[in-house]
Amino acid sequence: MTLQFAIRDDDCNAFTEVAELERAYARLPADVPVSFAVVPYHASLECPAVPDDRWDEAERRPLEANEDLIEYLQDGLEDGSCAVALHGYSHERFDGRPEFVAGTDLPSRIERGREHLEKTLEHEVDVFVPPNNSLSRRGIQAVKDAGMRLCYYPTPVNRPKTPEVLHVFLRDLWFKYRNKTAGPVSFLRDADRFWRRGDHSVFMPVRPMLYELQGSTEITCVSLTRHNPVDPVKRHLDVAAAHDGKFCVAVHYHAFRDDAFSDRFYELIDYARSNYDVEFVGIEELFE
Ligand SMILES: [Zn+2]
């Protein structure tokens, strides 16, 4: 068996320039696909995914407004160099909280966003990537009700405390304990920091497998941002490889504006290719 490895790139939207995507991934070997988590109606927010001269507009820009990007994604979907997931609806915040935590009418946001993405790209989309990696109980339920597969952490937070949810959580906890790199006391300290305080800089190895939860399949991703080092991400990869597992790294195309980030990303890709029998896949293939 080989390690399956997917690259998830978040925030692509109608404001995104194709040239920026091409620049970001220019050094990737031709057989390595990128899976874009696309925002179908991105709001004119003050954020790196929107040009700063558009921040003040009261506009949500539909993906169909960017023909170059549609062509780029369609070509990629056709030749297998890219895959597409749904990344919220507008990526807005509500009272400072993420869209699928505090937003209203979440089932309709999924339905309208998915429909626009599928119609515009002429491609079925059934993987959901939550904006800001955050979901409330309502957010999880909306994704489940839509029958979409999900990139998310298997904690019982914001989930019904059913035997199924607790079983998956305990298996995840056991996996983390079995694959810890320090003693039991530091494991408990790490677990406390990770879950209770939400400190995701702690190294808690993710279970590199699919899990069935609340009626659909989920998988965990590992983030590589401008602000976190690459070595812990490599350790997650090592654990995934040791289990012939599945690995998904989550990045943002706008982080590649930072050369140091770009170097860390390509260091990870080189590390995977030179140490493991790795098969690079689109995100939906991870679910197979
Ligand atoms: Zn995002």
Ligand 1 centre from 6 Cα, in Å? 17
176 against 84, higher pLDDT: 84
What is d(CA 35, CA 285) in angstroms, rounded to the nearest whole number? 11
Pair 82, 73: CB distance under 8 Å? yes
The band of 285, judged by pLDDT with boundaries at 50, 70 and 90, is: very high
Residue 138's pLDDT is what? 95
Residue 277's pLDDT is what? 94
Ligand 1 centre from 222 Cα, in Å? 14
* pLDDT averaged over every residue in the chain: 92
Helix (H) or strand (E) holding 251: strand 246-252
Reported as a single tens digit per residue, the pLDDT across 112-140 is 999 999 999 999 999 999 999 999 999 99
Reported as a single tens digit per residue, the pLDDT across 46-78 is 888 888 777 777 788 999 999 999 999 999 999
* DSSP symbol at 222: E
Ligand 1 centre from 129 Cα, in Å? 8
Ligand 1 centre from 253 Cα, in Å? 10
Ligand 1 centre from 3 Cα, in Å? 26
Residue 99's pLDDT is what? 96
CATH superfamily of 3-153+206-286: Glycoside hydrolase/deacetylase (3.20.20.370)
Residue 62's pLDDT is what? 94
Ligand 1 centre from 274 Cα, in Å? 30
Ligand 1 centre from 103 Cα, in Å? 15
Alpha helices in 92-162 (DSSP H): 99-102, 106-121, 137-145
Ligand 1 centre from 1 Cα, in Å? 32
Reported as a single tens digit per residue, the pLDDT across 208-235 is 999 999 999 999 999 999 998 999 899 9
Ligand 1 centre from 131 Cα, in Å? 5
> Facing residues of 172 across strands?
none
Ligand 1 centre from 188 Cα, in Å? 31
Domain residue limits, the chain:
3-153+206-286, 162-205
Ligand 1 centre from 250 Cα, in Å? 10
Ligand 1 centre from 133 Cα, in Å? 8
Residue 203's pLDDT is what? 77
Ligand 1 centre from 56 Cα, in Å? 19
Ligand 1 centre from 89 Cα, in Å? 10
Whole-model pTM? 0.93
243 against 44, higher pLDDT: 243
Residue 206's pLDDT is what? 84
Ligand 1 centre from 106 Cα, in Å? 16
Ligand 1 centre from 27 Cα, in Å? 23
Distances (CA, A) of 153 to 22, 104, 119, 159, 184: 30, 23, 29, 11, 22
pLDDT exceeds cutoff 70 at 1: no
Pair 231, 225: CB distance under 8 Å? no
Ligand 1 centre from 48 Cα, in Å? 10
What is d(CA 261, CA 255) in angstroms, rounded to the nearest whole number? 7
Mean pLDDT of 266-286: 96
pLDDT exceeds cutoff 90 at 11: yes
What is d(CA 58, CA 45) in angstroms, rounded to the nearest whole number? 9
Residue 156's pLDDT is what? 84
What is d(CA 255, CA 31) in angstroms, rounded to the nearest whole number? 22
Residue 256's pLDDT is what? 97
pLDDT exceeds cutoff 70 at 87: yes
Reported as a single tens digit per residue, the pLDDT across 146-179 is 999 999 988 888 888 999 999 998 998 889 888 8
Neighbours of ion ligand 1 (CB under 5 A): 10-11, 131
Ligand 1 centre from 130 Cα, in Å? 7
